[in-house]
Structures are given as C-alpha cells and as structure tokens.
C-alpha cells in the first residue's frame, strides 16, 4: 500500500509518510485497548470526576497508540534523523504519573515506573548508532517488566498501562529500529 504524506503537525506522531493500514492499526489498537480497560475495569473511574476520567483515558489512548506508532518505519526514522526531537520527546513523557494522579491510584508505583523508564530511555538513546543498543534496550525492558508485577496492590489496569508506557518509551521509541541512526562501521 502506498504511504500517504502526513501533515507536519502530526510528524511527531506518525513521521512524514505512513501507510493507511499503519494509521488504522495504531488508532484501533489504542482505541480498543483503552475501551477494553474502561469496560473491564470500571472501578478505574470510581469516585473520579468525569473530566479527570476522560483526560486519563485520553492519556491512556496516547500511551497505547504511541507504543505501536513508534515501531513503524516512518516514526522511527523521523526521530532517528532528529536527535533533539527524540531527547525532548523522552523528557516530556510524564503521562504515566499524570494518569495515576488523575485516577488517584498507584501514584508512587507510577512514579517509580516513570523514573526507571525515562532513565533507561536516555541510556538507550545514548547508544544510537552502536551495536549494543538493541541488547541494552531489551535487557532494561526485561528487567523493568520483571519487577513491575512483583509490587503488591497495584490495580491490574495500572499494571497494563505502566507496562505499555515502559514498552513505548524505553523500547519502542528509544531504539532506532531501522538503522537510520547508524553511521559508518559502528553497526
């Protein structure tokens, strides 16, 4: 399928060119998973004002959709060519803590996941162009995914969202999946 040109204000989300199938897949994954979390875990909205629930669900949608978008060639290559954009993107990802604050649950847990994820993403980002980048990203992701379920008392929906946040920022985004950041023989 022929890729379509993405408007410049959406380049940070989809890159410069993206297939319709990829865009639909990204939006469907984000929308269906966010809806499923709300339907299966209606307690996430207990005692939370509607505006806070809506904003939290929008952030959850962004986390879910971004997790998939960052695996596309277009988005990965867009950021591989723009190191400053990549660093800013990593630095502004405070979504998971905002979700926890909005839903008034697992705040310290989410803050720990955020700190680990952002630190790991900066480490992985520093390795762009080096052979060990994918290995280090996989190691940090595996370590993070291993400890997250061991902490008791975390609502399942927050565990799912935190898992996807870590996957999105630490592995899906911080890794140059298609080699655009490689130079010379470092590969």
- pTM equals 0.91
What pLDDT sits at residue 187?
34
Minimal CA–CA distance to 5: which of 137, 122, 55, 14?
14
Round to whole Å and give the CA distance between 67 and 110.
17
For CA atoms 121, 126, 131, 132, the dihedral sign is negative
What is the pLDDT at residue 16?
86
Dihedral sign, Cα of residue 106, residue 112, residue 116, residue 121: positive
pLDDT of residue 15: 85
pLDDT at 85: 84
pLDDT at position 183 is 44
DSSP codes of every residue in 79-116: HHT-HHHHHHHHHT--HHHHHHHHHTS-HHHHHHHHHH
Q: Quick one: which of 54, 148, 145 has its CA closest to 99?
A: 54
Q: Is the CA virtual torsion 21, 22, 24, 25 positive or negative?
A: positive
Six-digit token string for 93: 């990802």
Say how far apart CA 47 and CA 59 lie, in whole Å: 19
Domain ranges of the chain: 4-186
- Average pLDDT by stretches of 10, the chain with 187 residues: 83 86 95 98 95 98 93 85 86 94 96 97 93 95 96 95 96 84 41
């Amino acid at each position: 399928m022929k890729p379509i040109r993405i408007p410049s204000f959406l380049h940070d989300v989809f890159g410069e060119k993206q297939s319709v199938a990829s865009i639909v897949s990204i939006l469907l994954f984000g929308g269906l998973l966010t809806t499923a979390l709300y339907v299966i875990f209606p307690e996430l909205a207990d005692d939370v004002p509607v505006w806070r629930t809506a904003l939290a669900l929008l952030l959850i949608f962004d986390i879910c959709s971004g997790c998939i978008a960052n695996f596309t060639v277009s988005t990965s290559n867009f950021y591989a060519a723009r190191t400053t954009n990549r660093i800013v993107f990593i630095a502004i990802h405070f979504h998971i803590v905002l979700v926890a604050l909005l839903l008034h649950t697992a705040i310290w847990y989410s803050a720990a996941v955020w700190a680990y994820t952002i630190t790991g993403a900066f480490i992985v980002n520093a390795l762009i162009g080096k052979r060990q980048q994918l290995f280090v990203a996989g190691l940090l992701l595996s370590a993070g995914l291993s400890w997250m379920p061991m902490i008791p008392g975390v609502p399942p929906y927050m565990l799912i969202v935190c898992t996807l946040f870590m996957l999105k920022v630490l592995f899906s985004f911080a890794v140059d999946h298609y080699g655009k950041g490689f130079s010379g023989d470092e590969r």
